[in-house]
């Protein structure tokens, strides 16, 4: 695919000028009369999201002006690549890295199953920008989006494992995969139970990268390639979008790729449980009791609360090594969506300072996260009479919190951040096209760079 951000070009470019909303009146007052009437006719007032063409000497449109509300965000340029004609545009004044990123993220198309109508417009980037960093964030985001957008029929646990192995390979990382009944040999009882009814066997993907002497960071991802709900089957509407239930795994891989591409001085481990929550005669059942890797026994209240089960074996394994930080991503609960909606990542964290810093990084990178509490008194909702815990609380209240409290049982006191994410844009926004989306990935990357960066 052609690049959307160019460092150089030999082709003539189209000037692109940002006009601040606040400066609109004075800016338009300076325009020649013809240009001003073009601006009026386009109903351009300098607001964010607006754009207009100005005529050149021959009366043809030659200059693009774009309204800007003054914010440093994805939206400033993110809506343009498919709204303006193909061509190479050149900003007439400085553009921030985040604005560039907006352009490139807005140029995303998922064209694997349907030919696209047109190519996105391209942008010429000044040497003052960190094009390499922007391009690395863009390719990590594209990886996340593609993995999620690809339907479950083509993104089963074995496919996800192949993708993970490729990411590892391309970056000189080790990748080890434990498949099917071998999971039982190593006591990954929860991953096995959730995934065993599927034709494509469950597996644990384990990637390691970096110097053994650098601080250890472990990323964990929920890789439920399709969530039918299991025997507690979902209804049609609930099941319709469940190809995205490996979104957490996609995030862990995307973030790992970004960390490796940017050569962050950390020792990285990525743990992904790749399973399909399917229905067959050998499916795990409500009432079953699972033996997890950590030795905690779990009574199954609901087979649709499968994400926390596959995650718990990964988290216990991660915590064993006492890393500096565990970060997990999961499309874990509908409840998190009720709490913060589809466009904010719900964050849980057992360390206030880490949570505050990540929230700050999220603001900086236009990647909204909002912290929800690990409210310990709700722990009673997970009590089982016959096992150490149940997998889901019998009440719909505080569903994201009780899910997070379940996970917390498996990380001991290791510093840990958990993101309960939508991983999907339900509407088109500039820089955020409808469909799969990376959420909280930039926030975490910025946090890790500030904390561990050289
Ligand atoms: N994958 C779903 C959660 C989900 C649903 C995420 C919709 C994003 C959008 C998860 O496995 C699930 O089914 N959770 C249940 C848990 C319940 C049975 C305790 C939920 O949230 O309803
Ligand atoms: Zn489920
Ligand atoms: Zn699920």
Residue range of the domain that includes 271 = 135-452
Q: Is residue 310 a contact partner of residue 223, using CB atoms and an 8 Å limit?
A: yes
Instruction: Give the pTM.
Output: 0.98
Same domain, 16 and 62: yes
Same domain, 194 and 70: no
Tell me the C-alpha distance between 216 and 231, whole Å. Answer: 38
Which of 20, 36, 234, 364 is labelled catalytic? Answer: 234
Tell me the C-alpha distance between 103 and 258, whole Å. Answer: 19
For the CA of 306, the closest atom of ligand 1 is: 11
Q: Is residue 31 a contact partner of residue 19, using CB atoms and an 8 Å limit?
A: no
Domain for residue 128, yes or no?
Answer: no
Task: Read off the CATH number of the domain in which 113 is found.
Answer: 3.40.220.10
302 lines ligand 1 (CB under 6 A): yes
286 lines ligand 1 (CB under 6 A): no
Task: Read off the CATH number of the domain in which 382 is found.
Answer: 3.40.630.10
Asked which of 123, 146, 169 is the last residue of a domain, the reply is 123
Same domain, 95 and 196: no
Active site includes 308? yes
Same domain, 182 and 234: yes
CA of residue 242 to ligand 1 center, whole Å? 9
Same domain, 119 and 141: no
Same domain, 141 and 225: yes
Tell me the C-alpha distance between 368 and 356, whole Å. Answer: 13
Same domain, 229 and 206: yes
Q: Which tokens go with 231?
A: 């025997």
304 lines ligand 1 (CB under 6 A): yes
306 lines ligand 1 (CB under 6 A): yes
Domain for residue 288, yes or no?
Answer: yes
For the CA of 396, the closest atom of ligand 1 is: 19
- In order of 249, 293, 320, 322, the CA distances from 412 in angstroms are 22, 14, 9, 9
Same domain, 191 and 85: no
CA of residue 178 to ligand 2 center, whole Å? 23
Tell me the C-alpha distance between 300 and 285, whole Å. Answer: 7
Domain for residue 51, yes or no?
Answer: yes
CA of residue 228 to ligand 1 center, whole Å? 10
pLDDT string in tens for the chain (454-residue length): 678 999 999 999 999 999 999 999 999 999 999 999 999 999 999 999 999 999 999 999 999 999 999 999 999 999 999 999 999 999 999 999 999 999 999 999 999 999 999 999 999 999 999 999 999 999 999 999 999 999 999 999 999 999 999 999 999 999 999 999 999 999 999 999 999 999 999 999 999 999 999 999 999 999 999 999 999 999 999 999 999 999 999 999 999 999 999 999 999 999 999 999 999 999 999 999 999 999 999 999 999 999 999 999 999 999 999 999 999 999 999 999 999 999 999 999 999 999 999 999 999 999 999 999 999 999 999 999 999 999 999 899 999 999 999 999 999 999 999 999 999 999 999 999 999 999 999 999 999 999 999 7
Q: Is residue 387 a contact partner of residue 404, using CB atoms and an 8 Å limit?
A: no
Which of 203, 222, 243, 308 is labelled catalytic? Answer: 308
CA of residue 379 to ligand 2 center, whole Å? 20
Tell me the C-alpha distance between 402 and 393, whole Å. Answer: 7
| CA dihedral (429, 430, 436, 439) positive or negative | negative
Same domain, 318 and 393: yes
Overall number of domains in the chain = 2
Residues 80-135 have pLDDT tens digits of: 999 999 999 999 999 999 999 999 999 999 999 999 999 999 999 999 999 999 99
Residues, CB-to-ion distance under 5 Å, ligand 3? 224, 227, 245, 307
420 lines ligand 1 (CB under 6 A): no
Which single residue is written with the structure tokens 């009814």?
Answer: 197
Helix axes 247-261, 157-170, angle to 10 degrees: 10
Domain for residue 448, yes or no?
Answer: yes
CA of residue 305 to ligand 3 center, whole Å? 6
Residues 28-74 have pLDDT tens digits of: 999 999 999 999 999 999 999 999 999 999 999 999 999 999 999 99
Reported for 372-377, long-range contacts at CB under 8 A and 24+ positions apart, including other chains, are 372/336, 372/339, 372/340, 372/346, 372/347, 372/348, 372/400, 372/401, 372/404, 373/348, 373/401, 374/348, 374/349, 374/350, 374/401, 374/404, 374/405, 374/408, 375/401, 375/405, 376/405
Domain for residue 24, yes or no?
Answer: yes
Asked which of 123, 148, 170 is the last residue of a domain, the reply is 123
């Amino acid at each position: 695919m052609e690049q959307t951000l160019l460092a150089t070009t030999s082709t003539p470019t189209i000037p692109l000028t940002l006009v601040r909303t606040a400066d609109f009146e004075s800016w338009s007052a300076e325009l020649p009369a013809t240009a001003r009437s073009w601006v009026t006719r386009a109903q351009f007032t300098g607001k964010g999201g607006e754009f207009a063409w100005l005529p050149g000497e021959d009366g043809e449109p030659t200059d693009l002006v774009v309204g800007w509300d003054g914010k440093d965000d994805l939206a400033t340029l993110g809506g343009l690549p498919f709204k303006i004609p193909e061509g190479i545009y050149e900003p007439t004044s400085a553009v921030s890295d985040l604005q560039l990123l907006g352009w490139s993220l807005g140029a995303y198309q998922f064209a694997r199953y349907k030919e696209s109508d047109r190519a996105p417009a391209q942008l010429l980037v000044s040497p003052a920008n960190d094009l390499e960093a922007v391009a690395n964030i863009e390719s990590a985001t594209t990886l996340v989006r593609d993995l999620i957008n690809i339907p479950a029929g083509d993104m089963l646990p074995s496919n996800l494992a192949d993708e993970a192995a490729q990411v590892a390979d391309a970056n000189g990382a080790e990748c080890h995969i434990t498949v099917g009944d071998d999971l039982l040999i190593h006591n990954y009882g929860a991953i096995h139970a959730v995934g065993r009814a599927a034709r494509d066997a469950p597996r644990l993907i384990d990637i390691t990268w970096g110097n053994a002497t650098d601080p250890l960071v472990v990323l964990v991802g929920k890789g439920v390639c399709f969530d039918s709900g299991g025997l507690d089957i979902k209804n049609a509407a609930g099941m319709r979008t469940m190809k995205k239930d490996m979104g957490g795994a996609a995030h862990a891989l995307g973030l790992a790729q970004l960390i490796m591409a940017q050569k962050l001085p950390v020792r990285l481990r990525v743990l992904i449980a790749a399973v399909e929550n399917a229905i067959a005669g050998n499916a795990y059942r409500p009432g079953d009791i699972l033996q997890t890797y950590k030795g905690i026994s779990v009574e199954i209240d609901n087979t649709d609360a499968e994400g926390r089960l596959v995650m718990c074996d990964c988290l216990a394994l991660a915590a064993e090594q006492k890393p500096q930080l565990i970060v997990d991503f999961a499309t874990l609960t509908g409840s998190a969506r009720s709490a913060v909606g589809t466009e904010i990542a719900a964050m849980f964290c057992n360390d206030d300072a880490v949570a505050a810093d990540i929230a700050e990084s999220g603001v900086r990178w236009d990647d909204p996260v909002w912290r929800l509490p690990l409210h310990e008194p709700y722990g009673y909702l997970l009590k089982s009479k016959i096992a150490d815990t149940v997998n889901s609380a019998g009440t719909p209240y505080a569903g994201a919190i009780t899910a997070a409290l379940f996970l917390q049982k498996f990380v001991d006191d290791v510093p840990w951040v958990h993101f309960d994410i939508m991983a999907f844009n339900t509407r088109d926004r500039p820089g955020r096209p409808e469909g799969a989306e990376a959420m909280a990935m930039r926030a975490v990357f910025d946090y890790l760079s500030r904390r561990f960066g050289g």
